[in-house]
């Protein structure tokens, strides 16, 4: 990832980071107009898009942004001491190049140390305290036997029994609804089931439907329904009277 090719979209500038630095060093763009925070956000977004941390690009970016911040600070505070006096464009460019060179030297030194560490990885040494190191005296915190005993008594006490009665399902008896439906059928020949069970809990409605099936099985009622999920109409069946066959006798 080339930091200098980082595309920026700021209020005062739009283009690659390398061009922004060139314009600032040539005094064609005021450092005070440069949004350094926007540059940092754009760089972080580029890193997030890559999905991996590029240490070389991060180091170069830190050097460039630090130099840009220093130029901006010197412009905003021109009355500071001599070491913070405003640099000429050529001096600022040289200072930036020097810092980049120092960064490259530090990076090369880090690579050399990593190679040395890998080359010496087969050697081991024993870790131990220095011979003259003072012995660390471990001190216990103040102990309270009474408090410990009280805590153990609380742990040993049996917890109160938890009631699960509110979780139990209570089913009304089927006979209750058998009696109720037979009473309704004694007054009317036909009734709608929905009208009789409206407002009841779902468990009661299920038991009522079982009672209705029991009436249907015993031949006391017939069930009618126009379609799926349509209201169920219950009709009372009349008791069949036995048919007598008379035998004519001749005198």
As a whole number of angstroms, the distance between CA 61 and CA 196 comes to 79
Do 32 and 103 fall within a single domain? yes
Average pLDDT over residues 36-65: 79
For the chain, the domain total comes to: 2
pLDDT tens-digit map of 66-85 = 878 877 777 765 554 444 45
Residue 179: per-residue pLDDT: 92
**DSSP labels for 185-244?**
HHH-SEEEHHHHHTTS-HHHHHHHHHHHHHHHHTTSEEEEESSTTPPEEEEEPPPPPPPP
Residue pointed to by tokens 């980071």: 17
Do 90 and 183 fall within a single domain? no
Do 12 and 108 fall within a single domain? yes
Do 14 and 97 fall within a single domain? yes
134 part of a folded domain: no
108 part of a folded domain: yes
Band of pLDDT at residue 210, cut at 50, 70 and 90: very high
143 part of a folded domain: no
159 part of a folded domain: no
Do 97 and 185 fall within a single domain? no
Judge residue 21's burial from the number of C-beta atoms within 10 Å of its C-beta, 0-12 exposed, 13-18 middle, 19 or more buried: buried
Residue pointed to by tokens 């087969």: 122
As a whole number of angstroms, the distance between CA 113 and CA 115 comes to 5
Query: Could you tell me the CATH number of the domain that includes residue 229?
Result: 1.10.10.580
Flag whether pLDDT at 126 surpasses 70. no
Percent of the chain beyond pLDDT 70?
76
Average pLDDT over residues 26-30: 72
Do 113 and 7 fall within a single domain? yes
Q: Is the dihedral of CA 100, 103, 105, 107 positive or negative?
A: negative
pLDDT tens-digit map of 131-181 = 676 777 778 778 888 888 888 888 888 888 888 777 777 788 889 999 999
129 part of a folded domain: no
pLDDT tens-digit map of 2-19 = 665 677 767 666 677 777
Q: Which of 4, 74, 68, 85 is nearest to 34 (CA)?
A: 68
3-class DSSP state for residue 248? coil
As a whole number of angstroms, the distance between CA 251 and CA 248 comes to 10
115 part of a folded domain: yes
Look at residues 56, 88, 119 and tell me which one is the last residue of a structural domain. Answer: 119
For residue 28, give its domain range: 3-119
Contact 39, 65 (CB under 8 A): yes
Percent of the chain beyond pLDDT 90?
11
Do 100 and 31 fall within a single domain? yes
């Amino acid at each position: 990832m080339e930091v200098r090719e980082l595309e920026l979209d700021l209020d005062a500038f739009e283009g690659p980071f390398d061009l922004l630095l060139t314009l600032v060093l040539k005094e064609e763009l005021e450092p005070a107009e440069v949004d350094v925070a926007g540059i940092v956000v754009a760089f972080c977004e580029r890193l997030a898009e890559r999905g991996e941390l590029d240490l070389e690009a991060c180091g170069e970016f830190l050097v460039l942004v630090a130099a840009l911040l220093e130029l901006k600070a010197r412009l905003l505070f021109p009355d500071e001491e001599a070491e913070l006096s405003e640099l000429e464009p050529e001096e600022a460019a040289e200072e930036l190049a020097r810092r980049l060179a120092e960064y490259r030297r530090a990076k090369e030194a880090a690579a050399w140390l990593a190679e040395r560490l890998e080359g010496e990885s087969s050697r081991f040494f024993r870790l131990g305290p220095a011979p003259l190191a003072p012995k660390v005296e471990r001190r216990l915190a103040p102990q309270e036997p009474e408090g410990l005993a009280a805590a153990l008594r609380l742990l040993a006490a049996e917890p109160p029994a938890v009631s699960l009665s509110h979780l139990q399902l209570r089913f009304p008896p089927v006979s209750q609804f058998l009696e109720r439906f037979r009473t309704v059928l004694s007054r009317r020949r036909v009734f709608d089931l929905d009208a009789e069970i409206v407002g009841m809990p779902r468990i009661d409605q299920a038991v009522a439907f079982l009672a209705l099936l029991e009436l249907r099985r015993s031949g006391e009622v017939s069930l009618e329904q126009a379609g799926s999920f349509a209201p169920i109409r219950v009709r009372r069946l009349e008791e069949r009277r036995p048919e007598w066959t008379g035998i004519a006798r001749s005198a």
